[in-house]
Amino acid sequence: MVEAFERLQADVRGLAEMWEMAGDDDREELELEEARLEGELDELYRETLFKGEHVARPAIVTIKPGAGGTESSDWAGMLLRMYRRYAERNDFTVELLDAVGNDAAPNGIDYAQMIVRGERAFGMLQSEGGVHRLVRVSPFDGQNRRHTSFASVEVMPEIDDDFELAIDPKDVRVDVYRSSGPGGQSVNTTDSAVRVVYRGGTPDEIVVTCQDGKSQIKNREKAMTVLRSRLWERAERRRLEEQMKARGDQKAIEWGSQIRSYVLDKQYVKDHRTATMRHDPDAVLDGDIQDLIWAGLEWRAGGAGAPVGEADAT
């Protein structure tokens, strides 16, 4: 990156000298060169936004509806589709680990967890973690009233066996049960689903489920991978809390704060951290969110923006 930056500096100096000597006939060619250099600078700047040792790992994305029953479950299903469409647009692969549907909302979910694999998947998606807010005229309301729904998105890196993390087998209980998710007859008639419960000497137990396929062994391996990722996240949260305490910083660590509003009846999407606005919510919900992701990564890296959780008055 330093070498690329130094080459870019030299090219900019050379371009500046050429502008000084240029005539009217040279202007179009120099403008094209200027645009090329600006594009390279943008790409180089974006490289600086990927911070942390796990940015190259796959991302484990968990989506849960908030309070609100059918409406929130439908919103969670819309978010699941949005991230799957984003993955398709960027040649990422998606492995659905677990999904619990909602009978009242045909496309809704009460819970979903997936692994997104691709170049720097966690690095890209890490800024999407938080609470997402939907405002719309509800299709489930016979009186066509406006409803507000919430859903949480959690993004963790996939932590595999190569990562040093001590898990005492005595702290882990593994249950097997019959899968209730989609996947065909063999999935639903065998005890292939796995539930891993971790206590680890703390009052807050961690529960991980996986019913992705008909292999109990593979489901157990995937569940243990998610457990390692959750333990990493817990350790990272504590590290950040101690770091902020040592600095005397009283600001809350906004792991779960509202980050974005999708207001469908007024046709806009607003990111509350960065004040980024879009006026094409249909495209956003179809996975066209790369600009929102770049803005979120810049905010994480220390860029200016609106405070997290700032509510929109409308």
- What the block records as the tokens of 86 is 């984003």
- Cα separation, 54 vs 157, whole angstroms: 6
Q: Cα–chain-centroid distance for residue 198?
A: 24
State in Å, rounded, how far the first CA of the chain is from the last one. 43
64 three-state secondary structure = strand
CATH number of 59-158+257-300: 3.30.70.1660
Entry pTM: 0.73
240 three-state secondary structure = helix
- Cα separation, 73 vs 187, whole angstroms: 24
Q: What CATH fold (topology level) applies to the domain 169-246?
A: Double Stranded RNA Binding Domain (3.30.160)
Q: pLDDT tens digit string along 273-310?
A: 999 999 999 999 999 999 999 999 999 887 443 333 33
Q: pLDDT tens digit string along 184-225?
A: 444 445 677 888 888 876 667 888 888 876 788 888 888 888
Sequence length of the chain is 314
**Sequence spans of domains, the chain:** 2-47, 59-158+257-300, 169-246
